[in-house]
Chains A and B, each alone.
Chain A
Amino acid sequence: MIKNTDEELLALIKKKNSNAFKVLFERYESGIYNYILRYSGDRGLAQELLQETFTRVWFSAHLYAPDRGKVKNWLFTIALNITRNEMVKKRYIYRYEDITMLNDSKNEPDSSKSERPDLLLEHQDLKTTIAKALGNLKPELREVILLKHFQQLKFREIAEITKIAEGTIKARFRKAISELKKHLKPIDQ
């Protein structure tokens, strides 16, 4: 089942196959979690909305239409809508601290750095600056950066997910890059 395409998995999920659901979950949990985390800057919220996203996938699998795009795009559409709604509903304020406080092995700095507290601090400072810069973007700019850079989606696909014209997406991306550039200038130098 692990070799099945997303579309095949979703067809099985429609028939309430939990093994297929687990494979699809494992394929996208990290991407969606990081997407929500970087969008909101809130670990607790990211965890909660990741669960909500997949719960909705289970119940809405029958609504997926292959001719309207890839499964990945459909999943991110659900995650995006849930996250947008939640952010608006609770008026969340981006908390960049959460995405720089890392506690899993994948995020440990390498051993050479951990032996050098100054480098470790520098590494942490850089991450904080980038997270801050990302957090300073307006949500509509941030979401384009997240979908483009971190999820490697095409501009056309982002337009599909966000239901916004491709030209507008590109304009937002350019604006986001330009804003980030201002904040990240010290890193470039």
Chain B
Amino acid sequence: MMKHYKEDTLLSYYYEELDASSMKEIQAHLDDCEICMQYVSMLKAMEGALDRLDTALPASNTFDLVMDSIEKESMKRTEVVEKKPVMPNWLFAFFVLGLFSIVYFFHSAIAALPWLAPLEQIGIWAGLGSLIKTILLFTIIGLFASLAMAPVLVMEGEDN
């Protein structure tokens, strides 16, 4: 009884996706096997039918439209966008409070720091209470901390 090739193999044969020896082998088989040949002929007929569909052309200005779209997209991508802060707000508040506590606890030590000594020469500063000084110092440190933790301004990256 004659063996028949699987349709998958005949598909690969028809589209010439087999190695040379398999192609030759199937070609020889097709000369004798009507059933396999019928399948290959059907594929050919189907190809002929699909070939009847015309090829359409896109609008002639498509490339310009693509370039316009790229330009718009580029502008969007290079806009400065706000990224999420490095740490959540609650953590930031906790951080500041902690900083405040430390400053408050060590205010006398801080006040004695050499770089603060010139401040003590200023009458207003010298007249302030320790708590006020601490708050002022805290505000300065907090300001720097806020700047450091502020949302980072970056150029948005490209992705797929």
Contacts and interface: CB of A to CB of B under 8 A. Distances in A.
Given A33-B56, A107-B56, A184 B46 contact: yes
A43 B70 CA distance: 22
Contact of A51 (B47, B55, B65): B65
B49 A130 contact: yes
A160 interface: no
B11 A173 contact: yes
Contacts, number: 108
Given A29-B58, A37-B56, A43-B56, A155 B42 contact: no
B66 interface: yes
Interface residues of B, number: 32
B17 A155 contact: yes
A175 to B, nearest CB: 11
Interface of A: 18, 22, 25-26, 29-30, 33-34, 37-38, 43, 46-47, 50-52, 54-56, 58-60, 62-63, 99, 102, 104, 106-107, 126-127, 130-131, 134, 145, 148-150, 154-156, 167, 170-171, 173-174, 177, 180-181, 184, 187-188
21 contacts: A22-B63, A29-B62, A33-B57, A33-B62, A34-B55, A47-B58, A51-B62, A55-B66, A55-B69, A59-B77, A59-B158, A62-B158, A99-B56, A104-B57, A127-B54, A134-B50, A134-B53, A154-B17, A170-B11, A181-B42, A181-B46
Interface of B: 7-8, 11-12, 15, 17, 42-43, 45-47, 49-50, 52-59, 62-63, 65-67, 69-70, 73, 77, 158, 160
